[in-house]
Structure 1
Amino acid sequence: MAEPAFSICVYCGSRPGENPAFSQAAQAVGQWIGSHGGQLVYGGGLSGLMGTVAEATRLSGGRVVGVIPQTLVDKELANRQCDELHIVQTMHERKAMMAERSNAFVALPGGIGTFEELFEVWTWRQLGYHDKPLGLLNVGGYYDGLLAFLQTSVASGFMRGWQMDLLHIATDSDALLRTLVQSAGHSLEQVPLRSVI
């Protein structure tokens, strides 16, 4: 397999959620990554949105890198179809490897694990530990309440507008992924599109 054109870390739920739009968005993200010759870096699970985005990436011709702690291998049903499946000892190792292997980050709907991963890389970005672009895909209004709260934090003086500006927010996966990949310095025009299987 050729070297991936780019590498995107996707944070999302190990459950599918109640709204079918969540799974549809995960599938669209995976198809986009794969059809543009990219690589998915994710939490290595087989279930929920995690499994959906990984399978869609694989079936669309993309490369899949999973990183999962040993304690979660059975609980999240580790995806043995990954091109690379790294089984690590701690969550710290998992997140560090996912960040290291990625050019950009995007969060889809998920629970507290997804929130924690997004906020950590966002914090690292504001502190200058990396300069990789970050995105939030707000599917079906899932993150509306969180975004309203973040604006409350800005209004209350605990955050600044420039910190919010570090996070690309969109409801359309194609537009968001294009922005992230191009912000990471990759030109999509140079990537041959692959047909979806």
Structure 2
Amino acid sequence: MDICVFLSAAELDERYTTPAREFARLLGKGGHTLVWGGSESGLMKVVADGVQEAGGRLVGVSVEFLHTLARENADEMHIARDLAERKALLLAKSDAVVVMVGGTGTLDEATEILELKKHGHTDKPVVLLNTAGFYDGLKQQFRRMEEEGFLPVPLTELVFFAEDGAGALAYLEETAGIR
């Protein structure tokens, strides 16, 4: 299966790189394809390295203004004109989405897929991988949105919060038939 992973291109410490590497190995060993932002830096590189080393395929979608950071040895690399086209390509090339730790770009990507799900424009499973409690605050905010009527569908229909990579893949296998 083709699994889109939204995540940071920043250099991060072991709290984030170790779990990311473990998740990447699970993806690769499972024979899955990583669909990601295509960067050869930071956490994006850690995950791409792990997937590739474990036998998985890499499909990158970079953007023109970042093309010099794109991974050269990906199985496929696509260069989008802008960030909006990049997000659309990432989603079009994937069967499921996992959101790992990241900054505003990752948050933008995550909210886009959740908005599409909310309106019934996709039924792809979405997992927020809550490494080291990174998304605890966002989870609380989503629950408040649900409680106060800002979400027209139950939060559980939009996103699954996983505490580790094994939990994320187990959820995807259960809901999307990913093997």
2:8 equivalent to 1:13: yes
Alpha-carbon distance between aligned partners in 2 of 1:182 and 1:59, rounded to the nearest angstrom:
25
| Superposition deviation, residue 172 in structure 1 | 1.7
| Superposition deviation, residue 116 in structure 1 | 0.6
| Superposition deviation, residue 87 in structure 1 | 1.2
Alpha-carbon distance between aligned partners in 2 of 1:178 and 1:164, rounded to the nearest angstrom:
16
2:174 equivalent to 1:185: no
- Amino-acid identity (%): 35
Q: Please, which of 112, 125, 129 is the counterpart of residue 133 of structure 1? A: 125
Q: 2:141 corresponds to which residue?
A: 149
Q: Please, which of 11, 17, 33 is the counterpart of residue 23 of structure 1? A: 17
Alpha-carbon distance between aligned partners in 1 of 2:138 and 2:72, rounded to the nearest angstrom:
34
2:89 equivalent to 1:97: yes
| Superposition deviation, residue 164 in structure 1 | 4.1
Q: CA offsets per residue over residues 130-178 of structure 1, 9 Å max, x none?
A: 1110000101111111111222222322125613442010112112112
Task: Show structure 1 runs of 5+ residues with no match.
Answer: 1-5, 189-197
Counterpart secondary structure, 1:73: helix
Q: 1:183 to 1:29 in 2, by over 3 A?
A: same
Root mean square deviation of aligned Cα: 1.4
Which portions of structure 1, spanning 4 or more consecutive aligned residues, are displaced by more than 3 angstroms?
Answer: none
Q: Please, which of 66, 72, 77 is the counterpart of residue 66 of structure 2? A: 72
Q: Please, which of 39, 49, 58 is the counterpart of residue 43 of structure 2? A: 49
Alpha-carbon distance between aligned partners in 2 of 1:99 and 1:154, rounded to the nearest angstrom:
25
Q: CA offsets per residue over residues 56-96 of structure 1, 9 Å max, x none?
A: 0000000000000111123xx11111110111211122111
Q: 2:150 corresponds to which residue?
A: 158
Alpha-carbon distance between aligned partners in 1 of 2:118 and 2:149, rounded to the nearest angstrom:
16
Task: Show structure 2 runs of 5+ residues with no match.
Answer: none
Within 5 Å, give how 1:30-45 maps onto structure 2: 30-45=24-39
Alpha-carbon distance between aligned partners in 1 of 2:118 and 2:145, rounded to the nearest angstrom:
15
Q: 2:103 corresponds to which residue?
A: 111
Query: Residue type of the partner of 1:41?
Result: V
Mark the structure with the bigger radius of gyration: 1
Counterpart secondary structure, 1:53: helix
Q: CA offsets per residue over residues 34-71 of structure 1, 9 Å max, x none?
A: 10011000000011111111010000000000000111
Query: Residue type of the partner of 1:68?
Result: S
Give TM-score scaled by structure 2 length: 0.94
Give TM-score scaled by structure 1 length: 0.86
Moved more, 103-112 or 151-160: 151-160
